[in-house]
Amino acid sequence: MSDGELRANVGQRFGRLPATPADREVAGRVSREEVIDFFDERFGIEPAVFDPFTFWEKGKGKIWIFADTVPSPLRVEGLGMTVLRTRQEHWKPTHSAAQRFGRQADNNVIDLDGEAAAAFVRAENQELEWDGDWGYLIAAHELGGEREPIGVGLYLYGELRSTVPKGNREELSVL
């Protein structure tokens, strides 16, 4: 299908992502393959992790992940969990996605010690050493004997900016 034949995205309903870019029927909609490749390439999350799920768009570039299959399009208030924002040039995983799937990540995960982890949850920006890629990272700390993802940070010019959403920010103890 050429671009001229693509339908416009309708913001108030959920549309299922096409399997690949070649299957695209809605203008600008990313594909399942691109979403899974993003999590693999950026964070090292195995594509098989996403095998049981379907991916959906509601509103331009707001991608949701759903545990089951339902017909597309679907006009409901919510379908699964928000997982990714693709509207900007650099795609941003959601806070929920970092927490739910971040344990499977082994790339671009920045480990924070006690005070840095607490500051991150207060949504403070902080200067930190980091040898890896710039851009969106998964911030993590150790809790209950294992690494646990906290949320999404943006690393630029020696600074880690916290993107913990307002409703999730909290004053927590320094472990």
Contact positions toward other proteins, by CB under 8 A? 52-53, 65-71, 74-82, 94-96, 99-100, 121, 143-146, 148, 150, 167-168, 170-173, 175
Q: How far is the CB of 55 from other proteins (least distance, A)?
A: 11
What is the identity of the amino acid at 78? Answer: G
Q: How far is the CB of 35 from other proteins (least distance, A)?
A: 14
Closer residue to other proteins (CB): 65 or 160? 65
Q: What are phi and psi of 122, to 5 degrees?
A: -80, 0
Closer residue to other proteins (CB): 28 or 172? 172
Q: How far is CA 51 from CA 22, 36, 77, 117, in A?
A: 20, 10, 24, 31
Q: How far apart are CA 84 and CA 42, in angstroms?
A: 13
Q: How far is the CB of 131 from other proteins (least distance, A)?
A: 26
Q: How far is CA 94 from CA 82, 83, 91, 164, in A?
A: 7, 5, 10, 9
Q: How far is the CB of 134 from other proteins (least distance, A)?
A: 26
Sign of CA dihedral 156, 161, 165, 168: positive
Closer residue to other proteins (CB): 99 or 107? 99
Q: Which two tokens stand for residue 65?
A: 């992940």
Closer residue to other proteins (CB): 2 or 69? 69
